[in-house]
Amino acid sequence: MHIKKDDMVRVIAGREKGKTGKVLTIIKDKNRVIIEKVNLIKKHQRPNAAGKGGILEKEASLHISNVMLVCDKCDTGIRVGHKTLEDGRKVRICKKCQELLDE
């Protein structure tokens, strides 16, 4: 996957198009991501012994093809390339400015 947890991403399709946020979780088997403060839904929770009920707001998942990684240097949505360093590590790079995305 070209996107990892704690990456900054921008939504490029759907009703949340243009919003930017940090990746909270990745659901690999469904190719979906959950982004902080993006694609909020309301869930009606019934009161139980653990806590009170009410209407909760939480993030729903988006398909990974609808988000694009944001480069810190370019500050735009970018395509991701891969490069092998001298020490043998495989890292992600920005296709626009050739900046390393992994530290």
**pLDDT tens digit sequence for 62-88:** 999 999 999 999 999 999 999 999 999
CA distance linking residue 63 with residue 71, whole number of Å: 20
Q: Residue 81 corresponds to which amino acid? A: G
By the 10 Å C-beta count (0-12 exposed, 13-18 middle, 19+ buried), 85 is classed as exposed
**Mean pLDDT for the stretch of residues 9-21:** 96
Cα dihedral across residues 96, 100, 16, 34: positive or negative: positive
Average pLDDT of the residues of the chain: 95
Would you say residue 30 has pLDDT above 90? yes
**Mean pLDDT for the stretch of residues 35-50:** 95
For residue 6, the model assigns a pLDDT of 95
By the 10 Å C-beta count (0-12 exposed, 13-18 middle, 19+ buried), 57 is classed as exposed
Query: pTM score, two decimals?
Result: 0.87
For residue 103, the model assigns a pLDDT of 77
